[in-house]
Amino acid sequence: MSAPSEVRKRAQTLCTRLNEHNYRYYVLDDPTVSDAEYDRMLRELQRLETEYPELLSPDSPTQRVGALPASGFTTVTHEVPMLSLSNAFADDEVDAFDRRIRERTGLESIEYVAEPKLDGLAVSLRYEDGVLVRGATRGDGTQGEDVTWNVRTIRSVPLRLHGAAHPRLLDVRGEVYISRDGFHVLNEQQAAAGDKLFANPRNAAAGSLRQLDSSLTAKRPLDMLCYSVGRVDAADVPEIQIDTQFELLARLREWGFKVSPDARLVTGVDGCLGYYRELADQRAQLPYDIDGIVYKVNRIELQQVMGQVSRAPRWALAHKFPAEEETTRVRGIEVRVGRTGAVTPVARLEPVFVGGVTVSNATLHNRAEIERLDIRVGDTVIVRRAGDVIPEIVSVIKDRRLRGTRKYRFPKRCPVCGSEVIYEGAGVIARCSGGLTCSAQRKESIKHFARRRAMDIDGLGEKLVEQMVDAGIIDNVADLFSLTLESLVSLERLAEKSAQNLLEALDRSKQTTLPRFLFALGIPQVGETTALALATHFGTLEALMAADTEALESVADVGPIVADSVYTFFRQPHNCDVIGKLRAAGIAWPDLPAGAAARPLDGKTFVLTGTLAGMTRDEAKQKLLALGAKVTGSVSKKTDYVIVGADPGSKANRATALRVTQLDEDEFLQLLRSV
């Protein structure tokens, strides 16, 4: 039965609206409907297409779930080759690049488009009459693999071009990648499922895009930024006149593609190098991995004058950041025991200079990562360092392995206390079962308890904690409140005045708040925000300790993993014993009304940057948390406000690029007064 005309019109209306909302959400970062409203329209369209299959169109928003598994990828020939870029590693190479262009064009200065060089996978998208018909990997530049169904699952890739004025045929080039946040979430999902972890976001993106089962690709957090075009047939569309590279980026955005918000016009070699240094400083704060900067001559007629050599254009250059991957040798493998008992393996390396610093240690993450790499003492390895991220080992160079090396065996017992090592998360996460009997955990839990954002015990530094635990004066956090002047002055290098000051600080810390106390306990998975949510929801410590996992999961932002961690913590007799001793020592706080009404800033996300004159950043954060706000360290499209103080960092620039509302200190204070 064919669809009635009113049903056809409704389906077309839904398709148009959903594609528009996709564009506003994924490209403009400016959604105009709620997620619930979007889902309602999508379900209605799915129902109509199921009832009347002839309504199903290639550009339907319902067609992002993937197709049946393919037996393999077919080969695609790029009509316009996907060229690679010449690389520069030093400032004088950029200067030489600029000089060659000036000499060839006869101009005194050249305007460039500078943009981050994403560490992803190059892809070509072909549109005919405005509809996506093919997606292909770069391959060797001439031939790539057909990954059409996989790119269709990427939300930032339009299935139909936005607007009316677009070419009959359009070949768009860009980079498919996975953001840092997306990568961490993906690996958590892999670990929970007992699957192999990805080494880095680029490998994760490449592996996800080349899945033969595109329904699996649809579950991966792939994204795409577009930066150029190949073949364009626009002779019959006279209103399309693009004279510069920067105009091309703007037009791509109008057509529905996501482009880099950090792309900028710069002039001459000084402008290029200034941008390079600015992005190098901001690199660790960017939401995705980059390995350099790309400079492109802005005027397209000058690009044509410059032409290309071999397989690279003369008018573009990739200026790489200092090497982030280097080769070195593994001297040993050790494990560290953290505050929560997590047993983390660390590789001791022959020192190597990577990404601007000398690296002698690298994380191995967990037992599964050691098994995946098959890393052994004596192996030659490739070490990777991205921004301020802890260095990690990317791979082992097996053909340089020494004879006689042995597979590493993860310890069955804690190297600190000898307790059994137990495994969680499908055997991926290793923990010492010693709890408060393990000195490593005792020391770290006491240090955490004393932190400024926890119990704020002034004068209780790391070295003093270690000294007291080693001397047997304290075994757990409750013992802190039984300390005497006599026991403290018996320690080396602790004068009577300092000891007295510490006792006074301990006494002051007894008056606290329930959220601070919960955070100070060091419950696995419970940070400041979660502690505040738990305290607000249950009101009293007794109600929280009595809650089952179902009740815990009813708290906002608390999922099964966090709920299980909290439930387990309060079911351990030694934890309850310590809490009882702390309460008996006089630690107290005002209880909150259980299930407190929504606070004025519930659901709002804030980011702080720069220096505030009237308060510290931590004080500002505490004020926001008390009003129900969520305070994060990075700006994203989900951020509601960025509080900008004096000398702000890159977060203010990113807020501007994402069009996130920015408040100066006066406006921030006015907001606090108004709620």
How large is the greatest C-alpha to C-alpha distance in the chain, in angstroms?
Answer: 92
Residue type, 126: R
Neighbours of 216 (CB within 10 A): 15
Q: CA nearest 536: which of 594, 488, 465?
A: 594
Nearest to 232 by CA among 173, 289, 185, 190: 173
Three state DSSP letters for 60-89? CCCCCCCCCCCCCCCEEECCCCCCCCCEEC
Rg of the chain taking only CA atoms, in angstroms: 29
Catalytic residue among 9, 117, 447, 630: 117
At 265 the three-state DSSP class reads: strand
Number of Cβ atoms within 10 Å of the Cβ of 20: 15
- Alpha helices by DSSP H, listed for 457-558, are 462-470, 485-489, 496-509, 514-520, 528-538, 541-546, 549-553
Rounded to whole angstroms, the Cα distance separating 454 from 123 reads: 48
CB 37 within 8 A of CB 50: no
Q: What is the dihedral of CA 490, 495, 496, 502, to 10 degrees?
A: -90
The Cα-based distances of 34 to 18, 30, 37 in angstroms read 12, 11, 5
H helical segments located in 211-285: 214-217, 245-254, 268-282
How are beta strands 169-178 and 121-128 bridged, if at all? antiparallel
Cα–Cα distance measured from residue 280 to residue 48, given in angstroms and rounded to the nearest whole number: 50
> DSSP alpha helices (H): ranges in 165-209?
180-192, 201-209
Active-site annotation holds for 117: yes
Q: What is the DSSP string of 351-400?
A: EEEETTEEEEEEE--SHHHHHHHT--TT-EEEEE--TTSPPEEEEE-GGG
- Which DSSP string corresponds to 149-163? HHHTT-TTS-SB-SS
Angle made by CA atoms 215, 216, 220, in degrees to the nearest 5? 115
H helix runs in 27-151, sequence order = 35-51, 91-105, 148-151
Report the 10 Å Cβ neighbour count for 301: 11
d(C-alpha 323, C-alpha 356), whole Å: 8
Smallest Cα–Cα separation from 534: which of 496, 570, 488?
A: 570
Q: Which is nearest to 123 in space by CA: 108, 142, 144?
A: 144
C-beta separation of 359 from 126 below 8 A: no
Q: How far is CA 86 from the centre of its chain?
A: 29
Give the Å distances, CA to CA, from 91 to 94, 222, 290: 5, 33, 18
Catalytic residues: 117
